[in-house]
Amino acid sequence: MTNYSILFRAVSVALLAGAPGALPAWDYEGHRMINETALASLPADFPAFVRTTANAERIAFLAGDPDRWRNTPDATFRQYNTLDHYINLEELTDAGLDLGNLSPLRYTFAAQFAAGRAAHAGRFPSIDPDRNTDNTREWPGFLPWAITEYYGKLKSAFSCLKTFQEYGTPEEIANAEADVVDVMGVMGHYVGDGSQPLHTTVHFNGWVGDNPHGYTTSTSIHAWIDGGFIAKAGLVYADFASQVKPAQPLAVAPRVDGRDPVFTAVMDYLRAQNAQVEPLYQLEQAGKLQADGPPGNPEGRAFIERQLLVGGEMLGSLWLTAWREAGPDTFLKTQLLRRRAQSAANAPLPR
């Protein structure tokens, strides 16, 4: 484990101990590998500037930023940032919500969940206000909304870039490319969070409630999955790079049921990762997530590699879809054409 990982883990534990869902998903190394996987999955006709050495490195580096943001003590920022990293899907069901028909609008969902929680208050544990200074415990997390919103940000960034490429200056094009790189990198963190099954469940750090199968209740399991196993087993991106599949665009045509197609795809992705929660606990129970040294238990290693691949491939598909679906920004086009016309009108007449 790198010195950065050790320092980050120590700071995170000190700040976030005991907060439900607040633990990081994948250490920096895992998040970086997911962004690298997504880059490798992109087709040859994807904009080449993202593959330059500097930009590919920045995209990989930015995968860690949302966890670095956790190091602030400010309750206002902690509430905003913390809730975007997870979704406790079981709590949605407890609130009487249909997982297959959630609103893609963050605040509409928040109102629906608050009403459902109030109507089924007996299904939720009481909240200790002394351990809830940032008021996050009332909520199940907003990960699917964060991912879908970042898709929208990236689509917008590509729209601006396409417009600047046609009507802007070289400096504007370079800045628009930098915007795309930044959104791609940070967006990768949240998609990567979703591929860590413990970020989709109330069992995020040891099994809670009824436990007929005797799964571990240890509060160290989350940190072990995030990075402990990866570090002990010596797992690096090159170990599974050959398994990366080409990114496939998401189906974004209007659905007959009226549901938002991107949000639906994101929810399907997260529900599929939630289905891996119990298999993960079964591997831990069978001692197959131990790693005394490289290469680690083969079944445990295969599980972790598969989840990193799943996250990277979903991220690549979202990037690809955003690029293909982004049309020129018509408002920006109007502004740039007006500027061009004004510039031509003010140009001195030839002698």
Between CA 2 and CA 330 the distance in angstroms is 47
Instruction: Identify residue 334 by its one-letter amino acid code.
Output: T
Per-residue pLDDT of the chain (351 residues; tens, 9 = 90+): 344 343 334 334 433 444 444 677 899 999 999 999 999 999 999 999 999 999 999 999 999 999 999 888 899 999 999 999 999 999 999 999 999 999 999 999 999 999 999 999 999 999 999 999 999 999 999 999 999 999 999 999 999 999 999 999 999 999 999 999 999 999 999 999 999 999 999 999 999 999 999 999 999 999 999 999 999 999 999 999 999 999 999 999 999 999 999 999 999 999 999 999 999 999 999 999 998 889 999 999 999 999 999 999 999 999 999 999 999 899 999 999 999 999 988 878 666
Looking at residue 11, its pLDDT comes to: 37
Q: Token pair of 41, please?
A: 């999955």
Rounded to 5°, the CA angle 58-60-62 comes to 65
The b-or-e profile of 173-198 (16+ CB within 10 A means b, else e) is: beebbebbbbbbbbbbbbbbbbbbbb
On the 0-12 / 13-18 / 19+ scale of CB atoms within 10 A, 1 is middle
**Ordered alpha helix ranges (H), 238-329:** 261-274, 277-285, 298-325
Between CA 145 and CA 108 the distance in angstroms is 11
